[in-house]
Chain A
Amino acid sequence: MSDGNKVPSILVENVSKWYGQVIGINDVSLAIEGGVTGVLGPNGAGKSTLFKLLMGRIKPSQGSVKLFGIDPWEDTSPYRRIGYVSESERLYDWMTGLDFVSTLARLHGMTRKEAESRAEHVLKFVDLYDVRHKEIGKYSKGMRQRVKIAHALVHDPDLIILDEPLHGCDPIARTSIMNVIKELGNQGKTVLVSSHILEEIERITEQIVILHNGRLLALGNIYAIRDLLDKHPHRIMITTEEPRKLANAFISEEPIYGVRFPEEGKLEIQTNDLSAAHSVLPRVIVESKVKVSRIDNPDDNLDSLLEYLIGG
C-alpha cells in the first residue's frame, strides 16, 4: 500500500496508439488517483483503446502506461489491485452467478472457500445475492452488468475500471449500477468509468476526462468545464402555451440577452451564464404565472460540449 501513495494509480504519459493508418489514441497524458473519474467521449473517441492500453491488452505505439508504477503490457502484477469490467457482453451463460464470480476469484490465488465467501459478499454488494444460484444465461441485462461488476470487485481492488457499464441497461438497473459506482468512490477507491452519455457521468462524478478523435480534450471537474461553457452563448428551450408572455418576463432579467420563437409553443432564451440563468428561471416562471410543460437544455449534451471545446 505504501508505494500506492507515492505513484498515481493510473499514469499515462504521451501515449499514442495507432492501428496501421488509423489512430486510436493520440498523445494522451493522464494521471488519476482517488475518487470516481468519468471518461467521456463519443463512440470511436478512443475510450476503449485507452482502457485496452490500461489493461495490457495492447501495447502503446508511443509513450508509457503505468498502473501503480508498473507497465501492464509487461507485467500482470498490477491486476492484483485492479478490477476490470469490460464492455464485452458475452458471459459464460451456463455458469451460475456465484460460480462465475468465485471461479474468477480463484484466479487471484484464493482458495475455493475464500473465493466462495468473497463472491457471496460482492454479489450481496451488487444486489445479486438472491439469484446467485441462477444461471447467468437467465439474467436480465442489468443483472449481467452487475455480475460483471461483482467479478471485478471480488478481490477488493484499489482501482476499478469500468468500460461502458451502463450501456444498454434500463433506468432502474442504471440507477442501481450508478449507486454501486458512487459507493465505490465513497469507499476511497479509484474508479475509472467510461460513457458516451454526459448525463450518466454527471450523475456519478464531477471529475471527468473528455476524449475526442483520440485526443484528450479536457480533464478536470465537470463544473469547471461547465462554467467555461456557461460563459459562452447558451440556449434554454421552454415549451409553453404562452411563449410571448413568458418572453416578456425574461427580457428584463440580467443573465438573459435574447429570446427567439423557433416554433409554435416554444420559447428559446439565450444566455452567457447558464448557471445564473438557471437560478432565475424558476422565479420568473412562477411570477409570470405561465404554464410551462417542459424545459430543455439543447446545448447541455456531449455533442455541444465537444463542439464548444473543439471550437474554443
Chain B
Amino acid sequence: MEEIDKQGRNLSTTVWTQLDRKAGAITELTIRQLRNRISTWVVLGIGVLLISLLLIFYIDSIREEFEPYDNDGDSEDWDNDGYPLGQERIYGTSDYDESNFPGSTEYIYQGDIDWNDQPRNHYGNHTWFSAWGYFTPTWIDIETENPFFWDGDWIDWNLEPIICEDAGLSDEPFEAFEWGSLSRNYCLYENGTYLMFGAIFIGEGNFFVEPGWNTEWGYLTESFFVEKHPKSMYIDEDDIDWDGTKISSSQGFDDDGDCLREDYIDESNPNDDNRNGIFCDVQWTYDLNGNLVSIEADYNVDEDPDDSRWIGESSHRTFVIGTGKIAFVMILGLFLPLFLALGLVRDESENGTLHYLLSKPIHRGEFILYRLLGYLAIVVSYIVILTFIIAFITSIIGPGESIIRLSDYPVWLGISLSTILVLTAYGSVFNTVGLVLPKYGVYLCILFGIWEFLMGLFTITIPNSSITMLSISHWAIQIIDATVMIAWSDTSLMQQRSEAFGLETGISFFWHPPVHTLGTGNPFIALIISVVFILIFSVGMILIGQLIFRKKEIM
C-alpha cells in the first residue's frame, strides 16, 4: 500500500477506504458472532414476547370498548333504599340512611330549650325530638309510626306505660334517677305528667325542661312518592361541556344538578371552588400563546363525563407512551445491552480470540468502536422492526375515524430514537465496565441498571425532580415526552381534562410535558437537549473505554 501511495494515489481516499473496510469487517464479524450465540436469540425472543403480550392486552381492551364508568360514584345505592346516591343528592337526602330517601318523611327543626335558656317551659303541638324533661300532654299522637327506622328513641305508645313512682322516681327524679332502673326512655307520673329521657314523639302539651337539660321540637314533613331512578342514569350523566374556545373562559354545566341544587348554594357554601365568582362552572385558563394552563372545575360539575367519548383516545395514547417508556426504554433498553454489549470485548479477551484481531493493523480504540457498531447494527434493526410492527397494528385498530392513525408514527419514531440512544449509551457503559472488571463487571452493570430503572420510574411520575437528571433514562423519557407533545399537541389538554374531570385514563401518570425546554415550553428544545445529552454521554463512555483499552496489557 505504501508503494501505491508513492505512486501518487490520493492518500486520503486509501486511508478512508481502508478504514471503512476494517470497520466493515469487524462490524460484520461482531454481528455474526452475536447471531451465533443462543443468548442473543433468547433475549431478543423475550423482547418480542413482551411486546406481543402488550399487544394482546391492547387488542383485548380495544375489543371490549370503553365501558361507561361512573367517575363520581353517584350510581351507587349505599343504603339500599332503591334511590341511587345521585338522586338522593338532588333531594338532599342521605344515602347512608335507609329511612331517609327522596319523598320520605323528614323532621324539620323549629325550636329548642337549651341547657341555660329561659323560660324553661314551652307549650305546643310538635314533634318533640331528643326531649329531656317533663311533658304534660293535652294530646298524644299514638298512630304515626316511627319514620326514622333506625331511631330507638321513638316512643311506642302501644306499650303499657311504666309508672315513675314504681320505678323509684318520685319526688326527686334527678337524684333518684339511675340508668338501669328504667327499661325505657320515659315514664309516667300518677298525675299524668311524663318524664322523658331523650325520647322522640308527637304530641301537644306543656314541656318543662329542668335547668341543665335540653329539648328540641319541630315537625314531620308529609311523605310523597318519588320515582326511583335507575342506576344507569347516574353513569356518564355529567359530561364535559366545552364550547371549543381557546381563551380563558367559564365553561361547563352541572348537567346532573348535584352542584346546582338549591339547598347547597348559600353564602357559607357557594359552590365556587375555583373562585371565579360563578357557581357550578369550570374555569378553563389559557396563556397568551393559546396554550391551556389549567382546568379548574367546581365540585360536582362535569364530574362524570362520557367515557367512550373521552377515554378512547387518551387510553390509546397512554398505551403508546407507557409501552415506549417502560417496555422499550426501561426494559429492552437495559436488557439488550446487558446481554449483548457487556462481553463485546471482554469475551474476546477471555477466549483468547482477541489475539487474532489485535495482531492486525487496527488501533485498539477503533476496535472498540467497530465492536459497538456491530452490536448497534443488531439492536437498532431489532428495535426499528419491533416498533414498526407494534406501531402498525395499534395504528390500525386504535380509536379514531381514519383507517390508520398517522399521527402515531412520529411518536413511535421518537420511542425508537429514544430506545436506540439508550442502547448506545448503556452499550458503551457496559462494554467499558466489562473491560475494566471482566469478572465482577456484570454486578456493577446490574446495580447501574437498577438505578436507571428507578430513576426512569421517578422521571415518569415526577419529571422535574433533579436527581433523576443523573440518569440516562430520564433524558430518554424526555425525548418521548417531547415527541408526544410535538405529534399530539392536544395531549396536554387531555391530561388536564383527565385530572380536572376525574377521567381514569392514566395519561396524567404516564405523560408530563417535557421539562428541559429552557423555560420556553418548546418541545423541540427539550428533544434536542436530551438527544445531545445522551450522545455526549455515549461518546464520553466510548472514549473512556478506548483510553482504558489502549493502556490495558493483554495477557
Report A's interface with B, CB cutoff 8 A.
Answer: 1, 52, 55-59, 76-80, 82-84, 86, 88-92, 94-95, 103-104, 106-111, 115, 148, 151-152
A-side contacts of B184, CB under 8 Å? none
Min distance, Cβ A131 to any Cβ of chain B, angstroms: 19
Min distance, Cβ A191 to any Cβ of chain B, angstroms: 15
A-side contacts of B122, CB under 8 Å? none
The docked-state distance in angstroms from the alpha carbon of A181 to that of B36 is 34
Cβ-based interface call for B447 (8 A)? no
Q: Which 6 A-B residue pairings sit nearest by Cβ, starting from the closest?
A: A109-B18, A88-B352, A106-B25, A107-B360, A84-B359, A86-B355
Interchain Cβ contacts under 8 Å between A and B, 10 examples: A57-B358, A57-B555, A79-B361, A80-B361, A84-B355, A84-B359, A106-B21, A108-B360, A148-B356, A152-B359
Report B's interface with A, CB cutoff 8 A.
Answer: 1-3, 14, 17-19, 21-22, 24-26, 28-29, 32-33, 36, 351-353, 355-364, 553-555
B-side contacts of A115, CB under 8 Å? 25
Contact B22 A107 (CB under 8 A): yes
The docked-state distance in angstroms from the alpha carbon of A86 to that of B22 is 21
B-side contacts of A78, CB under 8 Å? 361
- The listed residue (B33, B352, B359, B360) touching A90 by CB distance below 8 A is B352
Q: Which among B36, B353, B361 has the greatest number of chain A C-beta atoms within 10 A?
A: B361
B-side contacts of A79, CB under 8 Å? 359-362
Min distance, Cβ B177 to any Cβ of chain A, angstroms: 100
A-side contacts of B357, CB under 8 Å? 104, 107
The docked-state distance in angstroms from the alpha carbon of A104 to that of B25 is 8
- The listed residue (A94, A109, A152) touching B1 by CB distance below 8 A is A109
The docked-state distance in angstroms from the alpha carbon of A76 to that of B19 is 14
Min distance, Cβ A122 to any Cβ of chain B, angstroms: 14
Contact B359 A82 (CB under 8 A): yes
B-side contacts of A110, CB under 8 Å? 21
Min distance, Cβ B478 to any Cβ of chain A, angstroms: 40
The docked-state distance in angstroms from the alpha carbon of A79 to that of B19 is 15
Known: A58-B553, A106-B21. A88 touches B28 (CB 8 A): no
The docked-state distance in angstroms from the alpha carbon of A80 to that of B2 is 10
The docked-state distance in angstroms from the alpha carbon of A236 to that of B28 is 58
Known: A57-B358, A58-B553, A90-B352. 11 other contacts (CB 8 A): A91-B353, A92-B33, A94-B36, A95-B32, A103-B29, A104-B25, A104-B356, A109-B17, A109-B19, A109-B22, A110-B21
Known: A57-B553, A57-B555. A86 touches B359 (CB 8 A): yes
Min distance, Cβ B370 to any Cβ of chain A, angstroms: 10
Known: A57-B358, A84-B355, A92-B353. A76 touches B363 (CB 8 A): yes
Contact A55 B359 (CB under 8 A): yes
The docked-state distance in angstroms from the alpha carbon of A104 to that of B29 is 9
Min distance, Cβ A104 to any Cβ of chain B, angstroms: 6
Contact A106 B24 (CB under 8 A): yes
B-side contacts of A57, CB under 8 Å? 355, 358, 553-555
The docked-state distance in angstroms from the alpha carbon of A151 to that of B36 is 21
The docked-state distance in angstroms from the alpha carbon of A110 to that of B25 is 10
A-side contacts of B356, CB under 8 Å? 86, 91, 104, 148, 151
- The listed residue (B19, B36, B355, B363) touching A88 by CB distance below 8 A is B355
Known: A52-B555, A57-B554, A88-B352. A106 touches B22 (CB 8 A): yes
The docked-state distance in angstroms from the alpha carbon of A212 to that of B147 is 114
Min distance, Cβ B348 to any Cβ of chain A, angstroms: 10
B-side contacts of A94, CB under 8 Å? 32, 36
A-side contacts of B32, CB under 8 Å? 94-95
B-side contacts of A76, CB under 8 Å? 360-364
The docked-state distance in angstroms from the alpha carbon of A82 to that of B358 is 12
Min distance, Cβ A283 to any Cβ of chain B, angstroms: 51
Contact A104 B352 (CB under 8 A): no
Contact B33 A103 (CB under 8 A): no
Contact B352 A89 (CB under 8 A): yes
The residue in chain B whose Cβ has the minimal distance to the Cβ of A107 is B360
Contact A86 B362 (CB under 8 A): no
